[in-house]
A and B are shown apart, each in its own frame.
Chain A
């Protein structure tokens, strides 16, 4: 079974802090994704990556950056956290062509910015 592990289940940070959310997958998947999920808005794509050192902006990249130095790890960085970044963050991975392979999700990190 594919395992996608997010480093923290719950995280509380302060406005202006630099925040790192880590995600690791153990199935040698090429593709990795970061989403945020908010009530009434559904899952929204922040960034994704099809390969090591490769990244592409999703629908809502502002205020975020990512890093993919190794195939198994995809990090989401909030450069200067703000209260409107309080959300549930979900990491996912998939193999091969994005078009027809299901995504496997981690359990999520509930991030609160005070």
Chain B
């Protein structure tokens, strides 16, 4: 999706920590969203980053480096219900562009 790159799939173990990376072209960048999408369901909003740094929300945190065109979503204390796709979406020149998503599998 227009030079937004995320890994296609990842696997992690229940109780562990996983980091999902997203890289993007920096031109026109205005902010970055993360969404969670369970299979067969609608995407739901997780986080929004516009400034550099880490934003924590319970078990989920999101990090942004504007100069490097890099973000990650960190999921701690993984639970089986965290099995889902995670979508990175970039606001570029006030247009939202989605990456192809990362499918996360959680093993018991």
Give the number of chain A interface residues (Cβ < 8 Å): 22
With both beta carbons as reference points, the residue of chain A lying nearest to B6 in the complex is identified as A42
Task: Give every chain A residue within 8 A of B44 (Cβ-Cβ).
Answer: 105
CB of B30 within 8 Å of the partner chain: yes
In the complex, how many residue pairs between chain A and chain B have their CB atoms under 8 Å apart?
56
Task: Give every chain B residue within 8 A of A41 (Cβ-Cβ).
Answer: 1, 100
**A99–B1 CB distance below 8 A:** no
Cβ 8 A contact of A43, one of B31, B50, B91, B98: B98
Give the number of chain B interface residues (Cβ < 8 Å): 23
Question: What's the dominant secondary structure at chain B's contact region?
Answer: strand
Assembly CA distance A38 to B98 (angstroms):
12
Instruction: Encode A100-114 as 1/0 by CB contact (under 8 A) with B.
Output: 101111111000000
Assembly CA distance A43 to B48 (angstroms):
18
**With A42-B87, A100-B50 given, is the CB distance from A108 to B42 under 8 Å?**
yes
Minimum Cβ distance to chain A for residue B16 (Å)? 26
Task: Give every chain A residue within 8 A of B100 (Cβ-Cβ).
Answer: 40-42
CB within 8 Å of A: which residues of B?
A: 1-2, 30-31, 33, 41-45, 48, 50, 87, 89, 91, 94-101
CB within 8 Å of B: which residues of A?
A: 4, 33, 35, 40-45, 59, 90, 97-100, 102-108
Give 14 pairs: A residue, B residue, CB < 8 Å, sorted on A: A4-B42, A40-B100, A42-B87, A42-B98, A43-B43, A43-B98, A44-B1, A97-B94, A98-B96, A99-B30, A100-B30, A100-B91, A103-B96, A107-B42
